[in-house]
Amino acid sequence: MEKVYLDNAATTRVRATVIDKMQEALSNHYGNPSSTHSFGRSAKTAIESARKAIAKYMNAHPSEIIFTSGGTEADNMILRSAVRDLGVQSIISSKIEHHAVLHTVEDLEKEFGIAVQFVDLDSLGNPRLSHLEELLKRDDSRKLVSLMHVSNEIGNMLDIEMVCRLCQDHDALFHSDTVQSIGHYPWDVNKVPVDFMTAAAHKFHGPKGVGFAYIRKNTGLKPLILGGSQERGFRAGTESFHNIVGLEAAFRASYDNLEEETAYVADLKKYFIENLKKEIPAAKFNGNSGNMDKSTYTLVNVCLPIDPQKALMLLFHLDIKGIACSKGSACQSGSDSGSHVLNEILSEEDLKKPSLRFSFSKYNTKEELDYVVGVLKEFVAD
């Protein structure tokens, strides 16, 4: 039986070089980074080296990088602190954001009574920037815009530079969940002046349980987790040293090999789209995911022409065949309510059909994609 992993938007295989770095850290640098003896100092030095390296790749200042347990914590930290500490009275977002943003915004609305407004979407799930501008002009309240750069479900890419300009023109803060794009696209925070961004190492071949928040200098955010003075006092708690070392190694590898690996993965996606169109002509690509120019090169979301009753067995069938992919996002795999993203953009007819997300990495091959398309074609025709 083939074993094909096409769920890289959920999490990625860890690079061998990253594992080596983490094993070395666990074996030889076991001191507490807050301790003043040599064991602690060596760990602390490595953490600060990781911070500087990440900042350099992003043209940021090291103090703007705060290590967290991942993207969800970073999103919560930024959004909650912005309301609590920066006087944000209104948050503008979209209904297809990751739940790390949506649920946090809903909670802030209840707790602090802030106004929550959602920007209109077009039929493919793209925020209408003309409506965003209308919302920014609507009143004089202190506003924060929270829109993801790359959709984790349908792969749509936000015109992030335009959103930055709109926010600057109207004196609004801008937070972007960049979990699906950091490690996959180059960043220069001076050219794209986002106020806040988030990252998770396991999305770019690093370990799970570690990520970072980018928080632009002098924004005035204060810590949510109190205790010690770790992370320049912004996030208390003993640092997950081996994970931070792994994050740095994965980050470096992603950007040192970015051009080559981007071209390889984009070619896989193009090949998959072409084969699927050829073998299953009635298949539809959700959002912009079938458009190589308007979506990320890492994933497609496909609506398949399968009867709803038969569709109940699709993921089970694929698993039996050794194929890993997602129905919606992995974060929702335990929910029977369906994808909130697809519920916003698909017709009632297409919502009755199964939609699958296939996401690619440097470890996939065209031979694997041939196998997957063959299995899908057989299931659809059966």
Active site residues: 331
User: How far is 325 from 360, CA to CA, in rounded Å?
Assistant: 10
Tokens of 128: 């209408």
- The number of beta carbons lying within 10 Å of the beta carbon of residue 213 is 26
User: How far is 38 from 57, CA to CA, in rounded Å?
Assistant: 29
Q: How far is CA 317 from CA 4, 107, 321, 337, 376, in A?
A: 13, 38, 6, 21, 10
Tokens of 119: 């920007």
- The number of beta carbons lying within 10 Å of the beta carbon of residue 169 is 11
Q: Could you tell me how many residues make up the chain?
A: 382
User: How far is 75 from 72, CA to CA, in rounded Å?
Assistant: 5
The runs of H, that is alpha helices, within the chain are 16-28, 38-58, 71-85, 99-112, 129-137, 160-169, 241-256, 258-279, 308-311, 314-320, 340-345, 348-351, 366-381
